[in-house]
Amino acid sequence: APPLDEQDWHSPSFDREGKRLTFVSNCKGKACSAVAKGSHIAVLDIETKEFRQISNGKQEIEVVSFSYVKKEPLRLSPPGYSGKIVRGTPVFSLDGDRIYYMAGTGSGSDIFWQQFNDFSWLNVLDLTAASSSYAASDKLVQKLDQSAVMYKGGGRIAVIGEDRLIFSGGNTLGLHYRGVNAYHPSAFFYDVTKEKLGLALSAKNLPVDPRFPVDSFYVTRILTASNDGQKIAFIRGFSDIVSIIESGKFRDIISASDLGLEAINYIALSGDGKTLVITPPFVSAPPLISTDQDTFWVMNMDSGSIKKLPLRSLLRKAIENRQPVERI
């Protein structure tokens, strides 16, 4: 359990060895210290249960906003203090030395805040470069020549292979930024060695849903990938189609109607690419949404078989008994 009643933890992600968990530690109440207040990146050692907050509420980091008046990107925001920055969906790099996460300005950090935040930017925490004032050095990945790109669509970041990230995205400048807009982008690669953005998914390499106008912005969300990057799964359409690109070939896997749902909330692909987990939409609002889903689905990616399993009962049992959820 979080150490303070005013604190909640969300958006967890394991490192490749499964020994550490990184997540957002959010503290809003009066009991929060100046260092802990706000949304911060934290790490939990699975074996020792050691909790470590990596970012610091007094740390100054760079954030970005734009003017839509001019036809060129214009950086407006000065650096902001870490306690006022909203963070989400942290992931470890392959070697475990860095944590990539989304950052934006805001007043809160509710679970899955990225779904409601149109402006979020890719940041990285270098765990090997400690500072006297905070646990790791933080920098904005965004470059001026890349500043027409914003990250959205659920805020999920996936690490693929040894040197790339993939995440949902669009451009902030609409029709003014022809070089990006011409492709109707919906996802971008980030090469961590070359520090360069590249187009991943767009109207050029994805089937266009007939329910969308041809010239509209085409959106994918909640991208998740196998460790080798050979399988990239995501939600497209009106949150109701799960699709996959496998070895460069696109296909739809399953839809919300196939599961008797109106929409699909979240998916996660296992590191070996053999298992896909699907969760239904939330019924209630925070802070109860973690125990709101009665069931979830597990799909075998080799056979295509799918089974429905209980979720709410397992979570309630774990919370009430303070015991770990049993492995299914």
Structure tokens at 165: 């990230």
State whether the Cα torsion 75-77-82-86 is positive or negative: negative
Residue 10 or residue 174, greater confidence = 10
Q: What is the pLDDT of residues 162-192, one digit of tens each?
A: 788 888 877 655 444 555 555 567 788 888 8
Flag whether pLDDT at 161 surpasses 50.
yes
Instruction: Looking at mean pLDDT, say which of 9-23, 29-43, 109-123, 279-293 comes out highest.
Output: 9-23
pLDDT-based confidence at 323, cuts 50/70/90?
low
Structure tokens at 239: 């949150």
Look-up of token digits 């902001």: 80
Q: Rounded distance, CA 221 to CA 227, Å?
A: 19
Whether the CB-CB separation of 71 and 61 falls below 8 Å is answered with no
Flag whether pLDDT at 242 surpasses 50.
yes
For the whole model, what pTM was predicted?
0.82
Residue 196 or residue 273, greater confidence = 273
What is the per-residue pLDDT for 297?
95
Average pLDDT of span 190-196:
84
Q: What is the pLDDT of residues 115-151, one digit of tens each?
A: 445 567 788 888 887 665 566 777 777 654 555 566 6
pLDDT-based confidence at 239, cuts 50/70/90?
confident
Of the candidates 93, 89, 92, the residue with the CA atom closest to the CA atom of residue 24: 89
Flag whether pLDDT at 257 surpasses 50.
yes
Structure tokens at 118: 């149109």
Of the candidates 244, 73, 38, the residue with the CA atom closest to the CA atom of residue 149: 73
Angstrom CA distances, 226 to 100, 161, 169, 309, stand at 17, 8, 20, 23
Q: Rounded distance, CA 65 to CA 148, Å?
A: 10
pLDDT-based confidence at 3, cuts 50/70/90?
low
What is the per-residue pLDDT for 146?
53
Residue 234 or residue 6, greater confidence = 234
Whether the CB-CB separation of 131 and 58 falls below 8 Å is answered with no
What is the per-residue pLDDT for 259?
93
**The amino acid at 32:** C
Angstrom CA distances, 146 to 58, 199, 218, stand at 28, 11, 20
Cis before 287 (ω within 30): yes
pLDDT-based confidence at 288, cuts 50/70/90?
very low
Average pLDDT of span 200-225:
70
What is the per-residue pLDDT for 256?
92
Q: What is the pLDDT of residues 66-119, one digit of tens each?
A: 555 555 555 556 666 676 778 888 999 888 899 998 887 665 555 545 444 556
Q: Give the three-class secondary structure for 223.
A: strand
What is the per-residue pLDDT for 64?
63
Spatial neighbors of 265 by CB under 8 A, at least 6 apart, are: 239, 279, 280, 281, 282, 293
pLDDT-based confidence at 20, cuts 50/70/90?
very high
Look-up of token digits 């470059």: 143
Average pLDDT of span 290-301:
82
CA angle 37, 286, 134 (to 5 degrees): 20
Mean pLDDT is lowest, of 29-43, 111-125, 185-199, 270-284, for: 111-125
Q: Rounded distance, CA 122 to CA 233, Å?
A: 21
Alpha helices in the chain (DSSP H): 178-181, 312-321
Q: Give the three-class secondary structure for 145.
A: helix
Residue 168 or residue 243, greater confidence = 243
Instruction: Looking at mean pLDDT, say which of 76-85, 157-166, 287-296, 318-327 comes out highest.
Output: 157-166
Burial class (CB in 10 A: 0-12, 13-18, 19+), 61: buried
Instruction: Looking at mean pLDDT, say which of 10-14, 106-110, 155-159 comes out highest.
Output: 10-14
